[in-house]
Structure 1
Amino acid sequence: MSQKLVCNCNGTMPLDAKALGVTVHQSLCRQELGSFIKALDGSEELVIACTQEGALFTEIAEQSEKPLVAPLRFVNIREVAGWTQEAKLSGPKIAALLALADMPEAEPVPVVNYESQGRLLIVGPGSQAIPWAEKISISLDVSVLCTEPGDLPLTRNYPIYSGLITKLDGYLGNFSVDWDLQNPIDPEMCTRCGACLEACPENAIDLSFQIDLEKCKSHRACVTACASIGAIAFDRSDRKRNAEFDLILDLRADPKMRMSQTPQGYFAPGKDPLDQALVVNQLLEMVGEFEKPKYFVYNEKVCAHGRNGKVGCSACIDVCSTGAISSIFKSGQGTVEVNPNLCMGCGACSTVCPSGAMRYNYPSVPHQGKELKTLATVFQAEAKKLDQSAAPSLLLHTLKAGTQMIDGLGRSAHVMPKQYEALPSFVIPYGIEHIASTGLDLWLGALTYGFAEVILLLSGDEDPAYRAALEEQSQLANAILKAYGFNERIQLVMANSVEDLQVISQAMGALRQRGALNSICTPASYGLSNQKRETLEAALEYLQKQAKTPLPEAGVALPKNALLGGLAINKDACTLCMSCVSSCPEGALLDNPDEPILSFIEKQCVQCGICAQTCPEHALTLEPRLQTVEQRKQKVALNQTQAFHCISCGKPFGTAKMVDLMLTKLGAHGAFAGAAMDRLKMCGDCRVVDMVKKEI
Structure 2
Amino acid sequence: MTTLICNCNRTMPLDVPALGRALGETLTEHTTLCRREAPAFQQAARSGDDLVVACTQESRLFVELAEQTEGSPPLDVRPIHFVNLRETGGWGREAQQATPKMAALLAAARLPEPEPVPTATYKSAGRLLVIGPLERAEALATHVADTLQVSLFATGGAGMQARRYPVIAGRLARVSGWLGAFDVSWATDNPIDLDLCTRCNACVSACPEGAIGLDYQIDLNACKSHRDCVKVCDAPGAIQFGRDATEHSERFDLVLDLRDAPAFTQHALPQGYFHLPASADAAAQLSALLKLRELVGEFEKPKFFQYKAKLCAHGRNEQLGCNACVDICSASAIQSRLDSDAKRNQIEVNPYLCVGCGACTTVCPTGALSYHYPSAPDQGRRVRTLVSAYTKAGGKAAAVLFHSQQAGSALISDLGRAASLDKSINGVPARVLPLAGWHTASLGLEVWLAAKAWGASQVWVLATGEEAPDYVRALGEQMAIGNALLQGLGYAGEHFRLLHARDARDLATLDADLRAAPAATVAVPAAFAVQAEKRATLELALDHLMAHAPQRNETPIALPAAGSPLGQVLVDANKCTLCLSCVSACPASALLDNPDRPQLRFTEKNCVQCGLCVKTCPEDALQLQARLLPLDARKQPRVLNEAQPYGCIRCGKPFGTLKGVEAMLGRLAGHSMFQGAALERLKMCGDCRVIDLHTATNESRITDL
Fold match (TM-score > 0.5): yes
**Aligned mate of 2:320, from 293, 311, 320:** 311
Are 1:444 and 2:453 counterparts?
A: no
Q: Is the 8 A contact 1:679 1:687 kept in 2?
A: yes
Moved more, 467-476 or 357-366: 357-366
- Partners of 1:665 and 1:61 in 2: how far apart? 83
Partners of 2:559 and 2:291 lie apart in 1 by 48
Match of 1:427 in 2: 432
Q: How does 1:92-131 map to 2 (within 5 A)?
A: 92-131=100-139
Match of 1:249 among 241, 256, 262: 256
Distance 1:3 1:527 in 2: 26
Q: Compared with structure 1, are the counterparts of its residues 206 and 639 closer, same or farther at alpha carbon in structure 2 (3 Å cutoff)? A: closer
Aligned partner letter, 1:401: A
Matching of residue 376 in structure 1 with residue 384 in structure 2: no
Q: Which of the residues 593, 596, 617 maps onto 1:594?
A: 596
Per the alignment, residue 293 of structure 1 pairs with 302
Worse-superposed segment, 681-690 or 267-276: 681-690
Name the structure 1 match of 2:24. none
Listed one character per residue, the Cα deviations across residues 519-549 of structure 1 (whole Å, up to 9, x for unaligned) are: 2232111111010100000000001110112
- Measure the CA separation in 2 of the matches of 1:587 and 1:189: 67
Deviation at 1:663, TM superposition (A): 1.5
In 1, the alpha carbon distance for the partners of 2:195 and 2:362 equals 48
**Could you say what secondary structure the match of 1:148 adopts?**
coil
Task: Say whether 1:401 aligns with 2:407.
Answer: yes
Secondary structure at 1:36's aligned position in 2? helix
Aligned AA (1:263): P
1:148 aligns with 2:156: yes
Residue 284 of structure 2 aligns to a residue whose secondary structure is helix
The alpha carbon displacement at 1:518 in A equals: 5.6
Aligned counterpart for 2:419 among listed residues 393, 413, 423: 413
Note the 1:74-89 alignment, pairs <5 A: 74-89=82-97
Q: Is 1:233 equivalent to 2:256 in the alignment?
A: no
Provide the C-alpha distance between the structure 1 equivalents of 2:309 and 2:200, rounded to a whole number of angstroms.
60
Judge conservation of contact 1:404–1:498 (CA < 8 Å) in 2: no
CA distance in 2, matches of 1:500, 1:172: 35
Q: What's the offset of the Cα at 1:563?
A: 0.8
Of 34, 44, 47, the match for 1:29: 34
Q: 1 CA distance for matches of 2:504 and 2:585?
A: 46
SS at match of 1:492: strand
CA deviations 1:273-298 (Å, max 9, x no partner) are 44222211111110010000110001
Q: 1:499 to 1:531 in 2, by over 3 A?
A: farther
- Structure 2 match to 1:471: 476
Q: Determine the structure 2 residue equivalent to 1:504.
A: 510
| Matched residue count | 683
Report the secondary structure of 1:500's partner residue: helix
Of 369, 372, 387, 1:361 maps to 372
Of 460-469 and 30-39, more deviation after overlay is shown by 30-39
1:49 aligns with 2:54: yes
Alignment-mate amino acid for residue 242 of structure 1: S
Match of 1:558 in 2: 559
> Residue in 2 aligned with 1:8?
7
State whether residues 321 and 611 of structure 2, in contact with CA within 8 Å, keep that contact through their aligned partners in structure 1: yes
Q: Which residue of 2 aligns with 1:191?
A: 198
Do the aligned partners of residues 658 and 585 (structure 1) sit closer, same or farther apart at CA in structure 2, a change above 3 Å counting? same
1:198 Cα deviation after fit: 4.9
Write the distance in 1 (CA, Å) between the matches of 2:662 and 2:276: 68
Amino acid at match of 1:86: E
Separation in 1 of the partners of 2:142 and 2:198?
18
1:683 matched to 2:690? The reply is no
Q: 1:459·1:498 contact (CA, 8 Å) conserved in 2?
A: no
Alpha-carbon distance in 2 for matches of 1:493, 1:527: 27
Following TM superposition, by how much is the alpha carbon of 1:193 offset from its aligned partner in structure 2, in angstroms?
3.6
How big is the alpha-carbon RMSD for the aligned residues of Structure 1 and Structure 2? 2.0
- Given the superposition, is the C-alpha separation of residues 371 and 164 from structure 1 closer, same or farther in structure 2, using an over 3 Å criterion? same
**Structure 2 counterpart of 1:290, which letter?**
F
In the TM superposition, what is the alpha-carbon distance from 1:201 to its structure 2 partner?
A: 4.0
1:357 CA displacement? 0.5
Q: Shift of the alpha carbon at 1:443? A: 0.2
> Which residue identity does 2:212 align to in structure 1?
I
Of the three residues 481, 494, 497, the one matched with 2:500 is 494
Distance 1:163 1:414, change over 3 A: farther
CA distance in 2, matches of 1:578, 1:31: 77
Residue in structure 2 matched with residue 391 of structure 1 by the alignment = 397
Task: Give the Cα–Cα distance (whole angstroms) in 2 for the partners of residues 348 and 507 of structure 1.
Answer: 24
Larger deviation: 469-478 or 253-262? 253-262
The secondary structure found in structure 2 opposite 1:538 is helix
Matched, 1:322 2:334: no
**What residue number does 2:586 align with?**
584
CA–CA separation in structure 2 for the residues paired with 1:316 and 1:103: 31
SS in 1 for 2:461: strand
Distance 2:411 2:189 in 1: 48
The TM-score, its normalising length taken from structure 2, stands at: 0.93
1:612-651 equivalence runs, <5 A: 612-651=614-653
Cα distance between partner residues in 1 of 2:160 and 2:523? 72
* Residues 233/133 of structure 1: CA separation in 2 closer, same or farther (3 Å cut): farther
Give 1:368 deviation, angstroms. 1.7
Aligned-partner Cα distance in 2 for 1:404–1:548? 38
State percent identity of aligned pairs: 47
- The CA distance in 1 between the partners of 2:505 and 2:370, in whole Å, is 32
**Contact 2:128 2:256 (C-alpha < 8 Å) held by counterparts:** yes
Quick one: distance in 1 between partners of 2:242 and 2:686?
A: 66
Structure 1 residue 183, shift from structure 2 partner = 3.5
Aligned partner of 2:531 in structure 1 is: 529
Q: How far apart, CA to CA, are the structure 2 residues paired with 1:478 and 1:451? A: 14
Change (3 A) 1:689 1:527: same
Mean CA deviation greater in 56-65 or 535-544: 56-65
- Cα distance in 2, alignment partners of residues 498 and 434 from structure 1: 20
Q: Distance in 1 between matches of 2:549 and 2:612?
A: 33
